[in-house]
Chain A
Amino acid sequence: MKVIYHCFGSSHSSVVAANIHVGNLPMDRIPTRQEIIALPHFDKTESKQIGIPFFIGKDEWNNDVYIIGMTHKKNIVRTAIISLLNIFNIAQTEIILINALEHINIMTKIGGFLSRGIGFTFIGRPIVLYGIQACYSNLINLVDKTKKDLIYNMNLDENQ
């Protein structure tokens, strides 16, 4: 199964959520700034890379975890991805798409726009880091809920 976290530009919220999912970031405390900056793809995705799925790692049940950017038209991209699976006869349950963007605060969005949108990394990055630390518990809750859903789905498969 593939778990795909998506946000606007696949550089902040989805990176952090996916790394919490695979265990690169802690679930019991707020990580330091250095830990967050050291993540691959964090605050690095160029605008011409938006849309490419990036592989982040494997979780404890051997699911592949990816991140993807969908700009502000996430409904269209999601519909297109699900349609593509349909035409290749891949079961829809093979992919789980999770929106990480709605679980972060306005500060991260502003910082992300400054850093990625118009290229002021030196102002944007500290704001993003502060914002991510402030809303870290939301992202933990999101990953927690996703994992519970995964366990529920796997139990269903076993019972069938």
Chain B
Amino acid sequence: MKIIYHCEGDNNSAVLMAAIHLEKLLKEKKPTKKDLTEIAYFDKNFFPEPGKILFMGKDLNGNEVFVFSRKKIGLVVERALLGIAKIYGLEKELILINTDTNIPWVVNFGWFILRKLQQKKIGEQIITKGVGRCYKRNVQLVEKIKKFAAAGGRKQL
């Protein structure tokens, strides 16, 4: 099964979800700034080419985890990729997850400060706060996705 997290590319939320999925971040504890730096979450240029799907790793059940950014056309890309997979009869091998909605506005605000105003220290601090706010919810969502992948279905979340 291929599990693909995709985001707009402005807040790297797909990277965060992939890291939770691959258990690079602890489930119980909210991540600190250092943890997020280690998974390259603050990398401003993580997605050099929008649309290109990047391999992140394999989880314990043998599912491959990917991420990509796709600007503001999430639904179009989802339909296109599922349709192409369907042509080859592979739609059951693919789970696409839109991660934009799982992130509170605080994180986007922090990214604005980091990206546009070039304030690294303040921006990273605000982002860490924001990620802490939505962390529990995202961990639960990843658990759901893992269960779903184990059941072998296909669904967009």
Contacts and interface: CB of A to CB of B under 8 A. Distances in A.
B153 interface: no
Interface in A54-96: 64, 66, 68-71, 73, 75-81, 83-88, 90, 95
Contact of B81 (A64, A73, A81): A81
B40 interface: no
Given A51-B75, A77-B77, A80-B70, A88 B53 contact: no
A48 B75 CA distance: 8
B84 A79 contact: no
Interface in A33-63: 48-53
Interface stretch (B17-25, B44-52, B105-113, B119-127): B44-52
A2 interface: yes
Contacts of A77: 51, 73, 76-77, 80
Interface in B69-117: 70-71, 73, 75-81, 83-88, 90, 93
Interface string B34-77: 00000000000000011111010000000010101011010111
Nearest to B49: A79
Contact of A79 (B51, B64, B79, B85): B51
B156 to A, nearest CB: 12
Q: Which of A64, A75, A83, A90 has the most chain B CB within a 10 Å cutoff?
A: A83
B2 interface: yes
Contacts of B52: 79-80, 83
B50 A70 contact: no
A48 B76 CA distance: 8
A53 B84 contact: yes
Contacts of A50: 76, 79
A75 B80 CA distance: 13
Contacts of A48: 75
Nearest to B76: A51
B51 A80 contact: yes
A148 B77 CA distance: 30
B71 A76 contact: yes
A8 to B, nearest CB: 11
Contact of B83 (A68, A75, A85, A90): A68
Given A53-B83, A53-B87, A71 B2 contact: no
10 contacts: A48-B75, A51-B76, A73-B71, A73-B73, A77-B51, A79-B51, A80-B68, A84-B53, A87-B66, A88-B93
Given A80-B77, A88-B93, 9 more contacts: A66-B87, A68-B80, A70-B80, A76-B73, A79-B49, A80-B68, A80-B80, A83-B52, A87-B66
Interface of B: 2, 49-53, 55, 64, 66, 68, 70-71, 73, 75-81, 83-88, 90, 93
The list of the 10 closest CB pairs from A to B, nearest first, reads A79-B51, A51-B79, A83-B53, A51-B76, A76-B51, A53-B83, A80-B51, A51-B80, A76-B50, A52-B79
